[in-house]
Structure 1
Amino acid sequence: MTHTQTSPSPAAEGSRSTGRNALIVAALMWSVQLVSLVAALSGTTQAAIAIHFQTTEIAWFTLMTLLTGTFFLPFMVKGAALFGKRRALLIATGLGLTGDLVAALATDYRTLLIGRGIAGVYTAATPLAYALTRDVFPRRWVGVANGVMAGGVGLVAFGGPFLSGYLLDHHGFRGVLWFVAISTAVSFFLVLFLVPESPVRERGGRMDWAGGLLLGGGVTLIIYAVGQGSHWGWSSAKFIGFIVIAAAALIAFLFVERRVADPLFPLSMTRRRPVWSALLATSIAAGSLSAVGVVIQLLVLMPKIPHVSDGLGWSGTHNAIVTSPISLMILVGAIGTGTIARRADSRVLLGIGTVLAVVGYGVGTQYHQSAGQIISWGVVAGLGTGVVVAVVPIMVIEVVSPEEQAMANGAQALAQGVAQIIVSQLTYVIMSQHGAVLEGTQFYLDQGFTNGMWLVIGCCALGGLFVALIPRAERLEDAKVGQAA
């Protein structure tokens, strides 16, 4: 197997106009942040969908996309390395659109879940889009592009609550599902007409079907078991059996990867200390911060019921107004990080981001009873979150070669997703220890919210401590990046 890559001349790097580069950034940011926006919109529609379809299995509305997205992610990133990142991104977006249309047209809950499952393939858009930035932008644009794309999470956090409230109030859950489908269609055409193909890919390689099935299946079983753990019982034979089978599949994956000619995730890459240490630190830190919404959203939106629920009882619109400064700081942190990352030590940036997040949310464990309190510590935590989400793809660029970019991004996305799901599910379990069930709904007391936030803080701090394991890598300024002709 051979690899090809471009090393454009300075003239080639300057051949594309600033406006054209900005359009490409916008198209890729839409692809990346649509994943976050769909997750935000889905969370707000769960109650309406559960009532409409009269189901007690509403958890599958979210879990289905996570399961299929996790399973197909290894195949998508390997396909990107073999056949082109833009082509793989278009396939993921096209399948996402197909699933969105099935879900929007569904007349029963089972069909809705089938659509959500197909749409889950679109989660591969995030690592594919970040991998493309290394290949299609001139050097001076790579850090800024990554920062802007990651900073879009602030726009999603800012506008998502307003958007979901409007759609639900005026068009019901069907309006939300159709908005998602239309947004995915827009993403498809933006990529099709604006984003160039990367010339960096493997030549002569083959798809590692056995490795993909073992890796995707093993991780999917873990996610499914954790998602059902509180229902089955964490010490039940069923839960332990799923974990044992998943572990066996992942061990078998390691043996298969040692013997195949074209491994899915080359062990020679993941064994390198700069690679595995960067993946470990970024996955735990970013995955934990992604899970903090479990606590915050329940805290502010749950009603206040004496001895049952200590939620603040805010409306969706009030929540959007209060959290808008926090969202703005996420955006500032992400874009600022992308701007200075060319010359800064990314390890220091990740450390600063986790410290700010830990300090902010640490204060929040004690002071979260009013809008003023939440804003005061939220802007600090938001700034740290913006730094972390922006530095993750930059660190991956610094520790791998161009031809390894798609696979490394896929490995990071896979590990971060697993960390997010595990931390989220454990947060639910911890919060429920201090709460009550009323008319079939789980409510939480103040101690539950506090303990849930401490869990997220501890996991984020652990990710920050793992920064010490990462050796100094070449800075983004010196990494091999290029622009597709």
Structure 2
Amino acid sequence: MSQTQTVPPQADDRSRSTTRNVLVVVALLWTVQLVSLVAALSGIAQADVAIHFRTTQIAWFTLMTLLTGTFFLPFMIKGAALFGKKRVLLVATGLGFAGDLLAAVATDYRTLLIGRGLAGVYAATMPIGYAITRDIFPRRWVGIASGILAGGVGLVAFGGPFLAGRLLDDYGFRGVLWFMAVSTAVSFVMVAVLVPESPVRQNAGRMDWTGGLLLGAGVTGLVYAVGEGADWGWGSGKFIGYVAGAVAALIAFLIVERRVAEPLFPPAMTRRRPVWTVLLATSVAAGSLSAVGVVIQLLVLMPNIPHVSEGLGWSGTHNAIVTSPISAMIIVGAVGTGWIARRVDARILLAAGAALTVVGYALATHFHENGPQIVSWGVAAGLGTGMVVAVVPIMIIEVVTPAEQALANGAQNLAQGVAQIVVSQLAFVVMAQHGVVLKGTQFYLDQGFVNGLWLVVGCVALGMLLVALVPRRARLDEAVESPVVQAA
């Protein structure tokens, strides 16, 4: 059994000045929100990347990062507990910079994908960044710092599209890739110079390598099979073999987790009905919403070529201007949900948010020919998205004890990442059924975009229905005041 050593942060940091604390907050804010910013930049750049490299496999431009990020997340979280959170932050940031740099200088698509895959390790900085905040600040600073880190999503949602648009319009996709590399380098320097090491660490313990490798192999095999299924044939022996192998690996992972002394995700926690139902509903709903960007960004940024490509052909800046009201509604939805969650059942908030996005994107299947149409349904979809994003961590708090918080967050991030990867890959497959390959580049007709949107609508609706499985729990204020979770 590992032991956890904790030095009270308020005792260690009493002499740290306010200025120093502010600088640490800035460093962590930059590091944590860079994950979301890079995702936004990647989505906007993917149309130009597909045309430049003349590829029909543009799906992997975003999926490689998601896949490696999901694969390494459990290892990085465990490593942070064993070796120190700052140390693992630096490892993840350093590998992220190496990947971003390789992608920026890549002259062929394969090298670009290798760089994007390596850069995916940086995704682990988000949960670790939030976790280290609780360890290194005086008690009176913890709430302030956590609030600032969470509130930064609003800046990314609103400012990210404008930044990406300007970079793309002025410097092309290379400008976007170089901005990622420089930003990650800045993150590394800020963490190294400003952020102290966490005093909270396990004195002993071992990494569950077998479980992690089985989980990674299962997820990777499943995603790859879905992505190639259209070319192989959905009933082909190759497709069935990959899916069967992936399922076998995931079943083996569950068996291993029941037997190892220190599993990645303790079965005793994940077997409780309140926990697994919350993980299932939030992961499907939020993961599906995260995948909608692959459809919307290609719709608005792909060129309009008669009988070949029926995108809107907008510039990056025009896209940012038109979608700014939607970004504003995401912020409104997130802030409002955080405020009323102490008074309203979180299940209702998740279901309502998912319902708004279902209505919004269902309307999008019919009205997506110009800016006013996109804004009209985007307001509802944006509000619903903000509600879903904000209520996910709240629902986790309501069903686990404080000691289980980090593991539950990690499990939710992992499950949501898997859902996002699978739905994104399916969206590309569905869109390609109504597409045209011209000079090596995959373009999409209008029916392809419509079918992609319907796929997302269906997956989000499934997440909304899964809320019915979640049992009634204490509301947020009750859970915080009396954080006792009963097995159920």
Q: State the TM bucket, normalised to the shorter chain.
A: 0.7 to 0.9
Q: Hey, what does 1:355 align to over in structure 2? A: 355
Task: Please give the alpha-carbon distance, in whole angstroms, between the structure 2 residues aligned to 1:108 and 1:475.
Answer: 52
Contact 1:80 1:406 in 2 (8 A): no
Contact 1:223 1:421 in 2 (8 A): yes
The residue type equivalent to 2:121 in the other structure is: V
Task: Please give the alpha-carbon distance, in whole angstroms, between the structure 2 residues aligned to 1:221 and 1:274.
Answer: 29
Rate the CA distance shift 1:461–1:138 in 2: closer, same or farther, 3 A.
farther
Q: Deviations over 1:338-376 (max 9, x none)?
A: 344455433232222212222222222232222112112
Q: Deviations over 1:209-264 (max 9, x none)?
A: 11111112211222222222233332222222111111111111122122211112
Contact 1:350 1:464 in 2 (8 A): yes
Contact 1:146 1:390 in 2 (8 A): no
**Which segment is superposed worse, 114-123 or 467-476?**
467-476
1:173-322 equivalence runs, <5 A:
173-193=173-193, 195=195, 198-322=198-322
Contact 1:434 1:444 in 2 (8 A): yes
By how many angstroms is 1:322 displaced?
0.4
**Which segment is superposed worse, 308-317 or 283-292?**
308-317
Contact 2:292 2:453 in 1 (8 A): yes
The secondary structure found in structure 1 opposite 2:312 is coil
Contact 1:85 1:198 in 2 (8 A): yes
1:24-423 equivalence runs, <5 A:
26-46=26-46, 49=49, 58-106=58-106, 109-132=109-132, 149=149, 152-193=152-193, 195=195, 198-342=198-342, 344-423=344-423
Contact 1:330 1:385 in 2 (8 A): yes
By how many angstroms is 1:15 displaced?
10
Contact 2:7 2:200 in 1 (8 A): no
Task: Please give the alpha-carbon distance, in whole angstroms, between the structure 2 residues aligned to 1:383 and 1:164.
Answer: 22
Contact 1:134 1:402 in 2 (8 A): no
Q: Deviations over 1:187-210 (max 9, x none)?
A: 234444555555555453211111
The residue type equivalent to 2:424 in the other structure is: S
Rate the CA distance shift 1:337–1:135 in 2: closer, same or farther, 3 A.
farther
Task: Please give the alpha-carbon distance, in whole angstroms, between the structure 2 residues aligned to 1:437 and 1:54.
Answer: 9
Contact 2:67 2:220 in 1 (8 A): yes
Contact 1:153 1:330 in 2 (8 A): no
Contact 1:78 1:407 in 2 (8 A): no
Rate the CA distance shift 1:471–1:193 in 2: closer, same or farther, 3 A.
farther
Contact 1:81 1:407 in 2 (8 A): no
Percent identity (aligned): 73
The residue type equivalent to 1:413 in the other structure is: N
When normalised by structure 1's length, the TM-score is 0.86
Rate the CA distance shift 1:336–1:188 in 2: closer, same or farther, 3 A.
farther
Rate the CA distance shift 1:347–1:17 in 2: closer, same or farther, 3 A.
farther
The secondary structure found in structure 1 opposite 2:480 is coil
Contact 2:44 2:297 in 1 (8 A): no
By how many angstroms is 1:119 displaced?
1.5
Q: Hey, what does 2:446 align to over in structure 1? A: 446
Q: Hey, what does 2:486 align to over in structure 1? A: none
Q: Hey, what does 1:479 align to over in structure 2? A: 480
The secondary structure found in structure 2 opposite 1:292 is helix
Rate the CA distance shift 1:119–1:438 in 2: closer, same or farther, 3 A.
closer
By how many angstroms is 1:291 displaced?
1.1
Q: Deviations over 1:134-191 (max 9, x none)?
A: 6567899878866764554453343333323333444444432221122112223444
By how many angstroms is 1:290 displaced?
0.7
Provide the aligned length of Structure 1 versus Structure 2: 482
Rate the CA distance shift 1:259–1:330 in 2: closer, same or farther, 3 A.
same
**Structure 2, unpaired ranges of 5+:** 484-488
**Structure 1, unpaired ranges of 5+:** none
When normalised by structure 2's length, the TM-score is 0.85
Task: Please give the alpha-carbon distance, in whole angstroms, between the structure 2 residues aligned to 1:49 and 1:259.
Answer: 45
Rate the CA distance shift 1:379–1:109 in 2: closer, same or farther, 3 A.
closer
Contact 2:165 2:318 in 1 (8 A): no
Structure with greater contact order relative to length (CA < 8 Å, sep ≥ 6): 1
Task: Please give the alpha-carbon distance, in whole angstroms, between the structure 2 residues aligned to 1:83 and 1:299.
Answer: 45
The secondary structure found in structure 2 opposite 1:254 is helix
Contact 1:275 1:399 in 2 (8 A): yes
The residue type equivalent to 1:385 in the other structure is: T
Contact 1:150 1:334 in 2 (8 A): no
By how many angstroms is 1:76 displaced?
1.0
